[in-house]
A and B are shown apart, each in its own frame.
Chain A
Amino acid sequence: MKTLKSLAIVGLTLAISASMMTTGCNGSGSTSKADSTADNAMIGAGSTFDNPLFSKMFSEYNKLNGMKVNYQSIGSGGGIQQLTSKTVDFGASDAPLNGKQDSALSSPAIHIPVTAGAVVVTYNLPDVKDTLMMTPEVLSKIYLGEIKKWNDPQIQAINKGVKLPATDIVVSHRSDGSGTTNIFTTYLTKVSKDWEAKVGRGSSVNWPVGLGGKGNEGVAGSVKQTPGGIGYVELAYAIQNNMAFAKMQNKAGKFITPSIASVTAAANIDIPADAKVSLTNTDAAEGYPISGLSWILIYKEQKYNDRTADKVTKLVRLIQWMVHDGQQYSAALNYAPLSEKAVSVADAQLKTITYDGKPVLQ
């Protein structure tokens, strides 16, 4: 469903951009070269998670300012590579740049938080009517293959009064490399020493147990079909498909239902100036612990590849709009809007962008 929807959105934006292009060509005959269509078109690439939101934002921005943004949702890793080779104006990623990626860049890039999402733990227990509670320890042990049955005393201890069946736990995970997996494994790495030592974090990892499903729909499919199944999917996907998901215990000890509000709450923490922060297991008392930011990545110094000052200003304005006005489109698409603190860090980051050494925003 989601892919269909995003396909439709992509198709729509393509159609809109095509019509814009023809009108743009007609009008640009008499204008100066600096105002050519190339300066009024941006190319971005990266995260597939961001794509539905970005499509909506860019089409709205197009209506306001007539700017055409061509966003290719090729995956966060691909977006970073495109940024490294300077073939795009901005990249988008669900994971901050790691050391190796950072050193591969020819000049420093900055992270601008643009939206937040969450990963929920979904399960298939037909006879259990109550919402299941999960603690970090139990979740990591299930994914390490140490807890094998649903009626294990450790699960029973946190779900008092729930009659758990004696069925096997069938673990599912994403088979394709994804930001979702990255958020999930980052969380498990933070909460479990065993997980950190045996598996670690990444967009694909060496899973000790379980079946791999391709995409959210693959994991959801295998959980839905298998009694006793457990898996993790994006919050938006789980909401759209009315899936059962567990309440997670956060760092403050509270069991939190994943929702847009609890994800935004998780982001309401002190975010470092470079915005490279994981929202997993944050100190926020009402925050859902398996949350994550998504970032736009751009070079700090924007004068490269014959880029004009005009184009750079437009690019920075676009990102500024996404961080502020663009946030109104998040909730309808089940993305969590940025918290106030995240917005202020984004603003500070935008001010550091320079063109030929001079700041773009005054």
Chain B
Amino acid sequence: MESSVDTKLATRPNDNLGRVASLKPQGTVSTTKRIKRSFRQIRAEKVFRRTLIIVALAMVVLVLGIMVTLVIESTLSIKSSGIGYLWGKTWDPVRDIFGAYPFILGTLLTSFLALFISIPFSFAVAVFLGEYFPTGWFSNLLKNTVELIAAVPSVIYGFWALAVLVPIVRSFESKIGVEPVGLGIFSSALILAVMIIPYAASLGRSMIHMVPSNLKEAAYSLGATRWEVIRAVIFPYTKSGLFAGILLSLGRALGETMAVTMVIGNTSLIPKSIFAPGNTMASVIANEFTEADHPVYLSALIELGLVLFLVTVVINMIGKRMVSRFTNE
């Protein structure tokens, strides 16, 4: 064994030398090889580029396709209800009167309320994990726990909310003197808030991680306290990212169906307060789609989907505008 290793070691330098030596006279052959290879590379490059373009375009086609399908399928309802569909206050499948106002209101109320409740928590998690404890077992635990929140199926949140949250809200409601129903917009906003925390939190965390340390160190060297660094360096530097995280959370809140349906109380009446039961567009669709037994009704539900789609698009566009304005400042 030893001898063979020895010989290998002994021969290696020779081998290398030999290779170098053999390369020199064969220079022309290797260049043609390289040219051939680069041709192949260029072709592969092209194929790769085309694949990327096709797959990326497929996404655009898909979204436009969804949009077009929604418009086509809801024409019947658009014709019968007209633009009044958007502010009609009655949703009566028996008499074919369809007004989406209570559901648009319900969707916006639950989503924005949830957003306001979740912001302090998601920012706290983001700052804590990004600035105070970026490493260590505790921060890992916290990080994984927050990410797990996003991975739990929404029906489980619904069950938990129905079994635990609703009775708590009910006793809270009876204390403050409103009708103690428990189910309603407030309960669904609470459960939505829990569900959307991870989106803003994890984006915020990675943004705060990306703040250049020399900026922070400069601030510290000028005698800034930790709070001052967060306020004067980290927040201004990351605000577009933090805002994008909020937008992501909002998008999730707008479309959430199952958990909301289980606790919102599902009534087509216009909510009188945030403790009253209501309904959202997504939960109406989920509830009524299977038994929509006449064409206009089905079409009205699809139009509700279209409105939800457009609301999401509009909110996203406004959000993008605000993000870019923040960054330009």
Contacts and interface: CB of A to CB of B under 8 A. Distances in A.
A359 B295 CA distance: 33
| Range, interface on chain A | 35 or more
Given A75-B291, A177-B287, A214 B261 contact: yes
Contact of B288 (A74, A100, A204): A204
Interface string B173-186: 00000010111000
B265 interface: yes
Contacts of A175: 261, 266, 279, 283, 287
Contact of A204 (B93, B181, B183): B93
A213 B266 contact: yes
Contacts of A80: 293
B85 interface: no
B100 to A, nearest CB: 13
B103 interface: no
B267 interface: yes
Nearest to B293: A77
B262 interface: yes
Of B90, B266, B287, which is in contact with the most chain A CB atoms at under 10 Å from its CB? B266
Contacts of A23: none
A178 interface: yes
Interface residues of B, number: 34
Contacts, number: 99
A212 B279 contact: yes
A221 interface: yes
A177 B162 contact: no
B266 A212 contact: yes
Given A211-B277, A218-B262, A76 B291 contact: yes
B95 A210 contact: no
B293 A98 contact: yes
Interface in A65-88: 74-78, 80
B294 A100 contact: yes
Query: Binding site of B, secondary structure by majority: helix, strand, loop or mixed?
Result: loop
A274 interface: no
A207 interface: yes
Contacts of A78: 290-291
A226 interface: yes
B277 A203 contact: no
Interface in B124-172: 162, 166-167, 170
B94 interface: yes
Interface string B279-290: 100010011111
A71 to B, nearest CB: 15
What 10 A-B pairs have minimum CB-CB distances, sorted nearest first? A177-B291, A212-B266, A175-B266, A75-B290, A77-B293, A206-B92, A200-B94, A203-B291, A176-B287, A211-B265
Given A177-B93, A177-B292, A222-B183, 17 more contacts: A74-B290, A75-B290, A75-B291, A104-B295, A170-B181, A175-B283, A176-B286, A177-B293, A202-B94, A204-B287, A205-B92, A206-B91, A210-B267, A211-B277, A214-B261, A225-B162, A226-B170
